[in-house]
Structure 1
Amino acid sequence: MMNQKPSLISEPIPYKTLFPWLHLFRVFRLAVDFQKILLASAGLLLLLLGNHLFNKLPFAPLQQPGNIQQVQPNILFPPQTPQQMLQPLSGSSLLRENSFSAFGLFSDGTSLLEPMSFFTEPVAALFRIDASWSSLAYATTQLLWAIIVWAVFGGAITRIAAIQFAQDEHIGSRSALRFSLKRILSLVSAPLLPFAGLGFFWILCLLIGLFGNIPDAGGIIVSLLWGLAFLFAFVMSLILLVTLAGWPLMMTTISVEDSDGFDGLSRIFSYLFGRIWYFLWLVIVTLCYASICLFFVQLLIQLVSHLSFWGVSWGMGSKQASELFHQNQNTLATTISMGWGSILNILFTGFVISFFWSANTVIYFLLRKCDDGTPLDHVYNADEDQEPTDELPLAGVAKAGEPVIERPFTPEEPAEPENQSEQDTEETS
């Protein structure tokens, strides 16, 4: 026998099968979706409108605890200088002057984690020791409003992203909003359930503190019970950290699985406790990739704003063009020009929010596959546009795929009367 020569053509290496986290690099393509950006922008505007109205409530303090302040709608007032004109603003910088930058590359604090500040900052205000009842009520109102808004719009964005990622199909924004509105109770209850556990352990700590009001022996009793306070605080810390880290994944769970709030909470607690190191690796890769993507998108926005001003100034004059963006001039032209700048800022922030929710959708798929081996293309995909009907199916219609067998018609013979049959029996006997 002749030796067969080995084939020089080799099969491609399935990198995404060996390293599933490479699917994270699909997030940019998922985020650059005009429908998602519009949904994110609408959610952002609703958050700003709600916080603006909350500042007018009787219990709204002038200075919020920590970094939470009254809403400064800077997105409606771009910087005065043409060099800073139309500079994109991050979502959380609209609520405060000093925005933080977590794993970001930009000096203005733009980061993938910025959309979470709408949720994390009110939570941080609730745990301040020197917080007043008015500040607690204000922070609670902001927190509930953020949960409701992101339950609707974040749930719709994750629904679209889940269908695109798993099945490479696309659903409309109306269908996605209808999906999230039908499951609004599940989307809202998922992040609120952990706060019930926090409240339980907080009450236990409060009871320990009440012993301190006993004359003379109160301090000794509280000191002896301080170990229990440490234990209760440890449990609260675990619940709080998992809630803050897993809140976006809870929204994604319901959008992917069509489950209830308890299932979304239990799944994320199981995934994070069981696959914590894999989760941290996914977060690090996502943040590094997001920093590069957001850098180039922001660079594009800055270039668009600069070139637009540069081109117009050659015909209008740089001085006259600069006056269009001065806030001190309350003219119709200034209002319209600043409005265009605000639209550009909102769209950029909408892209950041779209990237945030799309990234969490992909992270959830990867965590689920790592934990229970569920394929990445598995997603709940019911026909939402098909409305149930009360009409009964037609009789005699065969099931799909089964042949219809026609039998010849045979007339039935008339039955003999009972008396005649008895008579024939007697005659036979």
Structure 2
Amino acid sequence: MMNQKPALITEPIPYKTLFPWLNLFRVFRLAVDFQKIILACAAILLFMLGNQLFNQLPFAPQQPVSNRSDLVHQRIEFPPRNSDLFLHSPQQGLTPIPEQSPGVLNLVRGTTLLEPMSYFTRPVLTLFETGASWSTLAYATTQLLWAIIIWAVFGGAITRIASIQIAQDDHIGMRAALKFSLTRILSLVSAPLLPFAGMGFFWILCLLIGLLGNIPSVGGVIVSLLWGLAFLFAFVMSLILLVTLAGWPLMMTTISVEDSDGFDGLSRIFSYIFGRIWYFLWLVFVTLCYGAACLFLVELLMQLVSHLAFWGVSWGMGSEQAFELFNQGKTNLATSISRGWGAVLNITFSGFVISFFWSASTVIYFLLRKCDDGTPIDHVYYTEEEADTANELPLAGVAKAGEPVIERPVTPDKTDDDVQQEAKESTDPE
């Protein structure tokens, strides 16, 4: 007999175990979620409403500080050429923009995945401007607090939904997610504010050095001698500021995943970023590259939807009449409604950007936690109420997705003789 070689049993290579960062490619599927996009759109509308109200405050500058985010600007050209549509500015509401060049591929205009952070980062940077007036500082502080509250509620809800999907492969509703974020509102708000308390301490030390400069004759010499201490205090403030700006979304995610307080969210992120800085930068780099491709495809789809809708309608009513619906000089009902549909398209795209941002932050947190302390990705705080909501029985005749259908064996119907025999056996004495 010839020697036969044993059959080789090949098993699939566990790529996600060897390279956990491959889980980042789940973000697109997580982001394309109707409930997350609805929550994101609600946040955008509240930002616009809030900033409209803030512009009416007595200390609001005549020209609002540079806190405009291109996130809610008009990107999708509708109609696809010769249009003078409006953009949505968080501070100025509806504002005309110049005509766009014709063509469907009039795509990204400064759109990045980091734009949702601008609601938080730009007011912060305004606070550190040299020579800023008190009115500017008050306006920036108001915007910062509003951004923290909005993202605490809606960002916390989005990350809560994403964390359950990632860890448990399950889904909770918007009501449960909003209830979770609202009941943890103090933790979600305090997490990004705690670093500013630490920065305030070192700022006071620098302030004291500056006050010594008011001493006649020798004030300048004293400040010059102590300038090294000012550098040291500024170095600590810089580290705190950079980690806060970079890790603020992860602080929200920490509370959504662990159900912890603001101090735990702050301490975990400082530990993860300082301890795994290169891994963190690698995750951010992969996310930005992958996200850029996803945003391009989604915006391309939106541009095609805009173009084909206008193209199809123009064949019926004529292109000139179709363009008249979007005439900037007109303010009739038809023009307002038509331009409103263009706004819906753009806000929907902005909602996807926000959903992608918070979903990516959630995945990055899980990966950093696993790398730092070995906690499995499927570990997440899960309340009994959320489990009951997520595990509701499906509709009659419909098996829940991802669960096997258990079929029971069919038993034949009993005859009359079988029933009489069972009754006789039950009455006979032992």
Counterpart-to-counterpart distance in 2, 1:79 and 1:325: 11
1:401 alignment partner in structure 2: none
State the Cα distance separating 1:196 from its structure 2 match.
0.2
Q: In 2 relative to 1, CA 231–132 (structure 1 residues): closer, same or farther, beyond 3 Å?
A: same
2:260 alignment partner in structure 1: 259
2:52 alignment partner in structure 1: 52
Q: In 2 relative to 1, CA 163–363 (structure 1 residues): closer, same or farther, beyond 3 Å?
A: same
Worse overlay, 77-86 or 181-190: 77-86
Query: Structure 1, residues 313-350: CA drift from partner, whole Å, max 9, x if none?
Result: 01101110001011210100001001111111110000
Kindly report which structure 2 residues correspond to 1:400-411, keeping only aligned pairs within 5 A, or say none: none
Secondary structure at the counterpart of residue 5 of structure 1: coil
Kindly report which structure 2 residues correspond to 1:85-234, keeping only aligned pairs within 5 A, or say none: 107-234=108-235
1:300 alignment partner in structure 2: 301
1:238 alignment partner in structure 2: 239
Determine if the alignment matches structure 1 residue 14 to structure 2 residue 19: no
Counterpart-to-counterpart distance in 2, 1:211 and 1:72: 45
- Which 5+ residue runs of structure 1 have no aligned equivalent? 99-104, 388-429
CA contact (8 A) 1:90 1:110 kept: no
Amino acid at match of 2:319: S
Q: In 2 relative to 1, CA 49–278 (structure 1 residues): closer, same or farther, beyond 3 Å?
A: same
Determine if the alignment matches structure 1 residue 83 to structure 2 residue 89: no
Q: In 2 relative to 1, CA 90–117 (structure 1 residues): closer, same or farther, beyond 3 Å?
A: farther
Counterpart-to-counterpart distance in 1, 2:173 and 2:363: 19
CA contact (8 A) 1:63 1:70 kept: no
Amino acid at match of 1:189: S
Amino acid at match of 1:311: G
CA contact (8 A) 2:69 2:90 kept: no
Counterpart-to-counterpart distance in 2, 1:163 and 1:337: 38
1:340 alignment partner in structure 2: 341
Q: In 2 relative to 1, CA 245–354 (structure 1 residues): closer, same or farther, beyond 3 Å?
A: same
Taking structure 1 as the reference length, the TM-score comes to 0.83
CA contact (8 A) 1:86 1:344 kept: no
Determine if the alignment matches structure 1 residue 37 to structure 2 residue 15: no
Q: Which runs of 4+ in 1 moved over 2 A?
A: 1-9, 67-75, 77-82, 84-98, 384-387
State the Cα distance separating 1:84 from its structure 2 match.
6.5
Query: Structure 1, residues 210-257: CA drift from partner, whole Å, max 9, x if none?
Result: 011111100000000000000000000000000000000000000000
Determine if the alignment matches structure 1 residue 274 to structure 2 residue 272: no
CA contact (8 A) 2:72 2:346 kept: no
State the Cα distance separating 1:385 from its structure 2 match.
5.8
State the Cα distance separating 1:64 from its structure 2 match.
3.8
Amino acid at match of 2:227: W
- Taking only aligned residues, the RMSD between alpha carbons, in angstroms, comes to 2.8
Q: In 2 relative to 1, CA 371–149 (structure 1 residues): closer, same or farther, beyond 3 Å?
A: same
Secondary structure at the counterpart of residue 115 of structure 1: helix
Taking structure 2 as the reference length, the TM-score comes to 0.83
Counterpart-to-counterpart distance in 2, 1:82 and 1:144: 38
1:285 alignment partner in structure 2: 286
Q: In 2 relative to 1, CA 281–71 (structure 1 residues): closer, same or farther, beyond 3 Å?
A: closer
Amino acid at match of 1:166: A
Counterpart-to-counterpart distance in 2, 1:386 and 1:19: 30
Q: In 2 relative to 1, CA 281–89 (structure 1 residues): closer, same or farther, beyond 3 Å?
A: farther
Secondary structure at the counterpart of residue 384 of structure 2: coil
- Which 5+ residue runs of structure 2 have no aligned equivalent? 98-105, 389-430
Give the paired residue count.
379
Q: In 2 relative to 1, CA 282–74 (structure 1 residues): closer, same or farther, beyond 3 Å?
A: closer
Query: Structure 1, residues 118-158: CA drift from partner, whole Å, max 9, x if none?
Result: 00000010000021000000000000000000000000000
Q: In 2 relative to 1, CA 174–88 (structure 1 residues): closer, same or farther, beyond 3 Å?
A: farther
Counterpart-to-counterpart distance in 1, 2:52 and 2:210: 37
State the Cα distance separating 1:27 from its structure 2 match.
0.2
Counterpart-to-counterpart distance in 1, 2:64 and 2:212: 31
Q: In 2 relative to 1, CA 21–192 (structure 1 residues): closer, same or farther, beyond 3 Å?
A: same
Secondary structure at the counterpart of residue 385 of structure 2: coil
Query: Structure 1, residues 41-85: CA drift from partner, whole Å, max 9, x if none?
Result: 0011101110110001000001244x336999865x987864276
2:393 alignment partner in structure 1: none
Q: In 2 relative to 1, CA 296–79 (structure 1 residues): closer, same or farther, beyond 3 Å?
A: closer
Counterpart-to-counterpart distance in 1, 2:155 and 2:107: 25
Q: In 2 relative to 1, CA 379–239 (structure 1 residues): closer, same or farther, beyond 3 Å?
A: same
* Larger Rg, first or second structure (1 or 2): 1
1:407 alignment partner in structure 2: none
Q: In 2 relative to 1, CA 86–262 (structure 1 residues): closer, same or farther, beyond 3 Å?
A: farther
Q: In 2 relative to 1, CA 380–23 (structure 1 residues): closer, same or farther, beyond 3 Å?
A: same
Q: In 2 relative to 1, CA 145–380 (structure 1 residues): closer, same or farther, beyond 3 Å?
A: same
Secondary structure at the counterpart of residue 228 of structure 1: helix
Counterpart-to-counterpart distance in 2, 1:236 and 1:41: 34
Counterpart-to-counterpart distance in 1, 2:322 and 2:364: 46
CA contact (8 A) 2:68 2:89 kept: no
State the Cα distance separating 1:383 from its structure 2 match.
1.7
Worse overlay, 294-303 or 4-13: 4-13
